[in-house]
Amino acid sequence: MTAYAIRRFLSLVPVLFGVSLLVFTFIHLIPGDPAVVMLGERATPESLEKLRKQLNLDKPLFFDVEAAIEERSITALFKSQYFSFVGRILRGNLGESIFTKVDVATELRARFPATFELSVGAMLIALLLAIPAGIMAAVRKDSWLDLSVMTAALVGISMPIFWLGLLLIYLFAVNLHWLPPSGRLDVGVDLNPVTGFYVIDGVLTGNLAATGNALKHLVLPALALGSIPTAVIARMMRGAMLEVMNQDYIRTARSKGLAERVVIWKHALRNAMLPVITVIGLMFGTLLTGAILTETIFNWPGIGKWLYDGIGARDYPIVQGGTLFIATVYVIINALVDLSYGFFDPRIQYR
């Protein structure tokens, strides 16, 4: 098990190396560069050249062949933009925004909790709705309940999130005034951030009003973002339950005269959870990294919106550092999901 875990995590290294390469290549393929964006309306070729030099954008992208020949050294070959980026990352420095001079790490520390809180909210809503719904649909297969749960789930995965978000805002914020339309906290609410997760911070600092306020802000975006996981998990849960209930040991349990409730909750559910947990893990990874549209609609100060704006501004450090961070989180979650098989199902042996 431990050996497998180590191997699994080591296998992330080449993937993350590839990610760094891909991000770097992509962002430099995008036409225009930060110097152009920064100088804007009144740029001249000279001022552009000067600024590029200042921002170290005049160095070669991958290999500085010229310098290597000139200085007769192999190490000079790596005085390029890519290797200085990788070098910085390895030293634990994600760089700073070209435009705002804010450290990428500082932005991540402020924004990742926002994204994380939203993802957790979405996932909680999904689990609360989907698992009971999936189980009931499986138990009463082909009943009207099954049909409506499955239809609702299909509708859930068929809705564009940004559209659902707009509808929710229109209905619950603009018209009914039940919930706030955007942001994480009312301005009037004072909260001392401890962890950056406002709901938790409120509890930690004994400020339950703030927790309540943060929860109110969380409901709509979490509902919108949670629509797809809810649907996927409900379908998965139902499928897994049906599969398990056809197995011999369930039939045995039934024939032993165990109550249906016990059969379902004790025997079937436990075994059906394995594939569902996998999906939950994978879905959570996706939520953490893919909330750009939800964050845009609800003006949620998370990572997605920030990265998207970073691409628009050609803010290389933001896009490079931010994407690498997101990818790291994502592959680590996936690895953990893999490893959790062993935890939930001791029959699985890792080689």
Residues in region 264-303 near another protein by CB under 8 A: 286, 289-290, 292-293, 296, 299, 301-302
Q: Closer CB to another protein, residue 228 or residue 277?
A: 228
Tokens 């996932």 map to which residue?
A: 123
Q: Which residues contact 91 (CB under 8 A, 6 or more apart)?
A: none
Nearer to another protein, 84 or 186 (CB): 186
Cβ neighbour number for residue 102 with a 10 Å cutoff: 13
* Shortest CB 317 distance to another protein, Å: 13
The closest alpha carbon to 274, from 248, 239, 231, belongs to: 239
Tell which positions 33-92 bind another protein, by CB under 8 A.
Answer: 36-43, 47, 51, 54
Minimum CB–partner distance for residue 257 and another protein (Å): 26
For residue 85, the minimal CB distance to another protein (Å) is 16
In angstroms, give the least distance from the CB of 346 to another protein.
Answer: 25
In the complex with another protein, which residue's Cβ is closer, 5 or 186?
Answer: 186
Kindly tell me which residue out of 6, 18, 132, 345 binds another protein, with binding defined by CB under 8 A.
Answer: 18
Establish if 132 lies at the interface with another protein (CB under 8 A).
no
- Whole-angstrom Cα distance, residue 263 to residue 249? 10
- Kindly identify the residues of this chain, within the stretch 145-174, that bind another protein according to CB under 8 A: 150, 154-155, 157-164, 166-167, 169-170, 173-174
User: Stretches 2-10, 74-82, 182-190, 256-264: which one binds another protein (CB under 8 A)?
Assistant: 182-190
Task: Note whether 185 and 149 are within 8 A (CB).
Answer: no
Closest contact distance (angstroms) between CB of 143 and another protein is 13
Q: At closest approach, how far in Å is the CB of 73 from another protein? A: 28
Site string for another protein, 313-342 (x = CB under 8 A): xx--------x--xx--xx--x--------
Asked if 192 touches another protein (CB under 8 A), the answer is no
Rounded to 10°, the helix 12-29/2-10 angle is 20
Q: What are 296-299's contacts with CB under 8 Å, separation 24+?
A: 296/162, 297/162, 297/165, 297/166, 297/169, 297/221, 297/224, 298/165, 298/169, 298/181, 298/182, 298/183, 298/220, 298/221, 298/224, 299/182, 299/183
Residue 96: helix, strand or coil by DSSP? strand
In the complex with another protein, which residue's Cβ is closer, 222 or 326? 326
CB count in 10 Å sphere of residue 157: 14
Size of the site for another protein (CB under 8 A): 87
Is 110 a binder of another protein (CB under 8 A)?
Answer: yes
x/- mask, another protein, residues 212-251, rule CB under 8 A, reads: ---------------------------x--xx--------
**Cα(213)–Cα(198) distance, rounded to whole angstroms?**
9
180 touches another protein by CB under 8 A: yes
DSSP bridge partners of 347: none
Q: How far apart are CA 264 and CA 348, in angstroms?
A: 23
Contact 66, 60 (CB under 8 A): yes
